[in-house]
Amino acid sequence: MAGSRAWGRFKKNRGAVVGAVLVALILFCAAAAPLLTSHDPIAQDIDHGLTQLGGPVSPGGHYFLGTDSLGRDVWSRLVYGSRISLQVGMVATFIALTFGVFIGLTAGYFGGIADTLLMRLVDLVLAFPFLLLAITLATLLRQSSVGGGTATVYITLGVVSWTTMARVIRSKVLSVREMEFVHSARAVGASSGRIVLRHVLPNVIGPIIVLATISVAQMILAESTLSYLSLGPPPPTPTWGRMLYEGQAYYRTAPWLIMAPGIAILITVLGFNLLGEGLRDAFDPKDKR
């Protein structure tokens, strides 16, 4: 019943519907990348992908969005880059949720010294600027045995992004643990673990879904930033942030090199943010900002 009401509120929210359509479009492009382009995203076409002066080919004809400075198809790199962005966004969000949900549930349900210590840990992490902490950790991981692959980005963004989730989930758990059904479960002798998993966690699933959706957008934006700073997946892996970095030198003569990935990032982040806001209003219409 509650799910039906939430779905009804979601359908009436135009922003949420637009966000859902944008997210569906991005997911389709990522899933159907081999069908949307016949070009290899890392292959260089020296004969047809560069002008006589050795510059990028403008959009149109054989190349829908033109080529980059190495003769690679921009459209192909764009759609295959969506796979990397979504993959990083979802995996890093899963890592952050794992930390955030565990710490939020533990601090909120048990309270006392556990709550104090865990929230001081959250405050300690939040004391460092997010981007600075991410750059520092990504650099350290690249210099370690972990290497400089996509796994580095997963770990970096997941480890530095759990704090907000922990705080929000803790605040929800603090209210849920005082409800009658939780007191009833305690009265019949249910263990703390059973109460948390069977009674508390299901009642904070809504906020968790909302946090996860919005977090994907934040992770994609953060991954683009790290890739722009050459701290993301190594070349020639197509990523939107690296496409921006490689195209900035040609912003006057070949503006499509920065416009294409920039618009892709904008649409993706906007879509997930609108979807997340719509889900928040659908699950908890009283939670207005």
DSSP 201: G
Supply the pTM of this predicted model: 0.89
Q: Is the distance from CB of 168 to CB of 122 less than 8 angstroms? A: no
pLDDT at site 289 = 47
- Count Cβ atoms below 10 Å from residue 225 Cβ, excluding itself: 17
Residue 207 lies in a domain: yes
Find the domain containing 262 and state its range: 2-33+71-283
25-62 residue pLDDT tens: 999 999 999 999 988 999 988 888 888 888 898 998 78
User: pLDDT > 70: what percent of the chain?
Assistant: 95
Residue 275 lies in a domain: yes
Residue 130 lies in a domain: yes
Look at the block and give the residue holding tokens 């047809």: 48
Residue 66 lies in a domain: no
Residue 64 lies in a domain: no
185-207 residue pLDDT tens: 888 888 888 999 998 998 888 88
Q: Residue 242 pLDDT more than 80?
A: yes
The upper half-sphere exposure of residue 88, i.e. CA atoms within 13 Å in the direction of its Cβ, equals 33
- List Cβ neighbours of 197 (8 Å cut-off, separation of 6 or more): none
Lowest mean pLDDT among 6-10, 55-59, 177-181: 6-10
Residue 46 lies in a domain: no
122-160 residue pLDDT tens: 999 999 888 889 998 888 887 775 555 778 888 899 989
Q: What is the mean pLDDT of the chain?
A: 89
Once rounded to an integer, what is the mean pLDDT over residues 247-270?
93
Residue 95 lies in a domain: yes
Counting every residue, how long is the chain? 289
CA angle, 28 then 138 then 85, to 5°: 5
Phi, psi at residue 111, to the nearest 5°?
Answer: 60, -155
CATH of the domain at 211: 1.10.3720.10
As beta bridge partners, residue 60 has 63
Helices marked H in 32-111: 33-36, 74-110
Q: Is the distance from CB of 240 to CB of 227 less than 8 angstroms? A: yes
Report residue 82 as tokens.
């969506």
pLDDT at site 105 = 94
Residue 273 lies in a domain: yes
Q: Residue 245 pLDDT more than 90?
A: yes
82-117 residue pLDDT tens: 999 999 999 999 999 999 999 999 999 999 999 999
Confidence of residue 230 (pLDDT cuts 50, 70, 90): confident
Q: How many domains in the chain?
A: 1
